[in-house]
Chain A
Amino acid sequence: MSLDPGDWSAIRLSLELATLTIIVLLLIGVPIAWWLARTRSRWKGPIGALVALPIVLPPTVLGFYLLVLMGPAGPVGQLTRALGLGILPFTFPGLVVASVFYSLPFVVQPIQNAFEAIGDGPLEAAATLRAGPWDRFFTVALPLARPGLVTGTILGFAHTIGEFGIVLMIGGNIPDKTRVVSMQIYNHVEALEYGQANGLAGGLLLFSFCVLLALYSLGAGRRVWR
């Protein structure tokens, strides 16, 4: 079982994609989770459902619409072209955008649950101890939501590593640019290179198991605070 340069390139690309995606996801996912956890707006339901859609939708559906939107004829595509960014589909940045949508619920939901579990009490206490809204968020809400943040980060990262359908639709299968591990496995199988497919697939299996193991051990530790 040996990995060829194409396999290594795919692994490197997968890791880059997942890292970049999780950074973007935390930047937009934490505010969304906070809003969803605290709001009493009537938009809470629709926005929450929208965020959760990728859990139930086949990735091909999401990929298809993103392809149409970001393509040369789509509104997003025309915008990115007008901004001089070019057309996103079949590029690495396009893959990041698609991954962000696809993994959003896996990051938002654990963080939202963690924010909700805090309740009003500690935040009201902080308010009566002279902490303003931002101060309360960074010194009370975020630290108390740490288990949810860790869970969301791990889940989002792992989910991005494992995506396939959306990569196929948005990224294509371009070596060194959009050919990630899951695509490479598919290519090996298509070429009947079962040994090499096994090498990558086994690695992914082990990786996923370790991630989940870490998560469930963390779950036991979380109860110390509550």
Chain B
Amino acid sequence: MNEGIAARFHARCGQFALSADLQLPGRGIIALFGPSGSGKTTLLRCVAGLQRVKDARLVVNGDCWQDDDRRIFLPSHRRPLGYVFQESNLFAHLSVRRNLEYGMRRVPSAQRCVARDRAIELLGIGHLLERMPAGLSGGERQRVGIARALMTSPRLLLLDEPLAALDTARKREILPYLERLHEELSIPMLYVSHSPEEVAKLADHIVVLEAGRVLAEGPLAEMLVRLDLPVRFGDDAGVVLEGAVVERDAQWHLARVDFGGGCLWVRDIGAAVHRRVRVRILARDVSIALARFASSIVNTLPATVVAHGDDDHPALVLVRLRVGSGSLLARLTRQSAARLGLVAGMSVWVQIKAVALL
């Protein structure tokens, strides 16, 4: 069993202690999620070898990068990884082109599998090659940083809050590029973020960190419907469903998405029929009714109550529901839950006020 990332790091640094023992999939985007100071960046730096801790072990898809029991420690420059920094860290004395070539030229040509032109095209930076980093916008700098890391043909791509230093408009500019990487390259990525939106959009697997400890870890869809964790997403608690576009209604500009056991109507944003899409449904946008009745809400689906749990405010509860093969979370007042007499196994109707196509 070679596939996967095994990481064990225990470090103490003053008040802060990091303790992680993880078995992660060796593919897809793995989000390291948690508030500031939870140790996400420290964990990422340990994986990169930029920070060295004692008693650590790291095996990436069969290759041992660090094992202190066997006195193995590969320095960062010997690890086949790419690292995208929060502040991009482009070399100010080199043009964009020479920044991009810096890493690529240090990788033997036999090991290059991400073609230079492919990376430039993926990140849309072809027109920037002769510019100096000082003349780039924040978003452009970050795209060059990502391309520079990709061009070393990494076996693992590490991204340290690559969008955190950017404003909302610039974030929107970069996210599609990250999604393309996800769809078109088979490089596993560790993605540090404290933004539920980014995690919902990109991640396949999530590691939730708090105060240096791993709180929970698992596939994104499973993790988001756990009643003990969504609290940490606060207002952004909700689920992500993956499905395929099955129908487009030209008259009302809507598209129907089948997510296995149920269908949702969403605003048609031009995704072709059969295209797989992700939708996000926030718990606060889901309400529960005992009977189906006419309303302005488009998406009303039959569902079964699975369980309910406490929310962060005592007036609220989170209810987990099963809809076909998928799960939903609804945020209700405790009073409503009592009035409806919600118990596990009960059949109800869910009304979904908003579905965000990711």
Could you tell me which A residues sit within 8 Å of B by CB distance? 121-122, 124-132, 135-136, 139-140, 143-144, 146, 224-226
Known: A121-B87, A124-B50. Contact between A129 and B93, CB under 8 A? no
Per-position binary interface string of chain B over residues 82-111, scored 1 when its CB falls under 8 Å from any chain A CB and 0 otherwise: 110101011111000000001100110000
Complex partner residue of B50 from A127, A135, A140, A146, CB under 8 angstroms: A127
With most chain A CB atoms within 10 A of its CB, the pick from B50, B90, B93, B103 is B93
Q: Are B93 and A131 in contact (CB under 8 A)?
A: no
Q: Is B289 an interface residue (CB 8 A)?
A: no
Minimum C-beta distance from B91 to chain A (A): 6
A124 to B87, CA, bound (A): 12
Chain A neighbourhood of B106, CB < 8 A: 129-131, 135
> Residues of B contacting A130 with CB < 8 Å?
77-78, 103, 106-107, 152
CB of A81 to closest CB in B, whole Å: 46
- Knowing that A128-B77, A129-B106, A144-B91 touch, tell me 18 more A-B residue pairs with CB under 8 angstroms: A121-B85, A124-B50, A124-B89, A125-B83, A125-B85, A125-B90, A126-B91, A127-B49, A127-B77, A128-B48, A128-B149, A129-B102, A130-B106, A130-B152, A131-B106, A146-B93, A224-B134, A226-B92
- B76–A128 contact, CB under 8 A? yes
Instruction: Using CB atoms, name the residue of chain B closest to A223.
Output: B134
Q: Do A127 and B76 touch across chains, with their CB atoms under 8 A apart? A: yes
> B75 on the interface (CB 8 Å rule)?
yes
Whole-angstrom CA separation of A135 from B102 in the bound complex:
11
Q: Give CA–CA (A129, B79) in the complex, Å.
A: 9
* Closest 5 pairs (CB-CB, A-B): A129-B103, A130-B106, A128-B83, A125-B89, A127-B76
Among A124, A125, A225, the residue within 8 A (CB) of B93 is A225
Considering only residues 106-159 of chain B, those with a C-beta below 8 Å from chain A are 106-107, 134, 148-149, 152, 158
Chain A's closest residue to B45 (CB) is A124
Contact A131 B91 (CB under 8 A): no
Point out the residues of chain B lying under 8 angstroms from A140, CB to CB: 91
* Residue B24, interface by CB 8 Å: no
CB distance from B332 to the nearest CB of A (A): 47
Q: Does the CB pair A126–B50 fall under 8 Å? A: no
Q: What is the distance, in angstroms, from A120's C-beta to the closest C-beta of chain B?
A: 9
Check B87–A129 contact: CB distance below 8 A.
no
Distance in angstroms from A126 CB to nearest chain B CB is 7
Known pairs A121-B87, A124-B50, A224-B134; A131 contacts B77 (CB<8 A): yes
Cα distance A225–B90 in the bound complex, in angstroms = 12
Q: Closest B-chain residue to A124, C-beta based? A: B50
Main secondary structure on chain A at its contact with chain B? helix
Residues of A within 8 A of B286 (CB): none
| Complex A-B: 28 CB contacts under 8 Å | A121-B87, A121-B89, A125-B83, A125-B89, A127-B77, A128-B77, A128-B81, A128-B103, A129-B77, A129-B102, A129-B106, A130-B77, A130-B78, A130-B103, A130-B106, A130-B107, A130-B152, A131-B77, A132-B75, A135-B77, A135-B106, A143-B93, A144-B91, A144-B93, A146-B93, A224-B134, A225-B93, A225-B134
Q: For A128, what are the chain B residues with a Cβ–Cβ distance below 8 Å? A: 48, 50, 76-77, 79, 81-83, 103, 149, 158
For B89, list chain A residues within 8 Å (CB): 121-122, 124-125
Beta-carbon nearest neighbor of B86 in chain A? A121
A143 to B93, CA, bound (A): 7
Within 8 A of A (CB), among B40-84: 48-50, 75-79, 81-83
**A124 CA to B158 CA in the complex, in Å?**
13
**B134 / chain A contacts, CB cutoff of 8 Å:** 224-225
Shortest Cβ gap from A114 to chain B (Å): 12
Smallest beta-carbon distance A223→chain B, Å = 10
Residues on the A chain within 8 Å of B79, using CB: 128
- Distance A144 CA – B85 CA, assembled complex (angstroms): 19
- Whose C-beta in chain A lies nearest to the C-beta of B49? A127
- Distance, CA A152 to CA B85, complexed state (A): 32
Known: A130-B107, A131-B106. Is A125-B77 also a contact (CB below 8 A)? no
Residues on the B chain within 8 Å of A121, using CB? 85, 87, 89
Contact B75 A127 (CB under 8 A): yes
Q: Which residues of A contact B50 (CB under 8 A)?
A: 124, 127-128
A82 to B24, CA, bound (A): 66
Chain A residue with minimal CB distance to B94? A143
A108 CB to closest chain B CB (Å) equals 22
A143 to B99 Cα, complex, angstroms: 13
Q: Which residues of A contact B158 (CB under 8 A)?
A: 128
Q: How far is the CA of A143 from the CA of B76 in the complex (A)?
A: 22
Q: Assess whether B77 is in contact with A144, with CB atoms less than 8 Å apart.
A: no
Tell me, in angstroms, the Cα distance from A143 to B103 when the chains sit together: 17
Q: Which residue of chain A lies nearest to B103 when distances are taken between CB atoms in the complex?
A: A129
Alpha-carbon distance between A136 and B103 when the two chains are bound, in angstroms: 11
Please, which residues of chain A bring their CB within 8 A of the CB of B152? 129-130
Complex contact B107–A125 (CB within 8 A): no
Closest to B81 in A: A128
- A120 and chain B: residue at smallest CB distance: B50
* Shortest Cβ distance from residue A74 to the other chain B in the assembled complex, whole angstroms: 44
Q: Which residues of B contact A225 (CB under 8 A)?
A: 92-93, 134
- What distance in Å separates the Cβ of B142 from its nearest Cβ neighbour in chain A? 13
Q: How far is the CB of A118 from chain B (nearest CB, A)?
A: 9
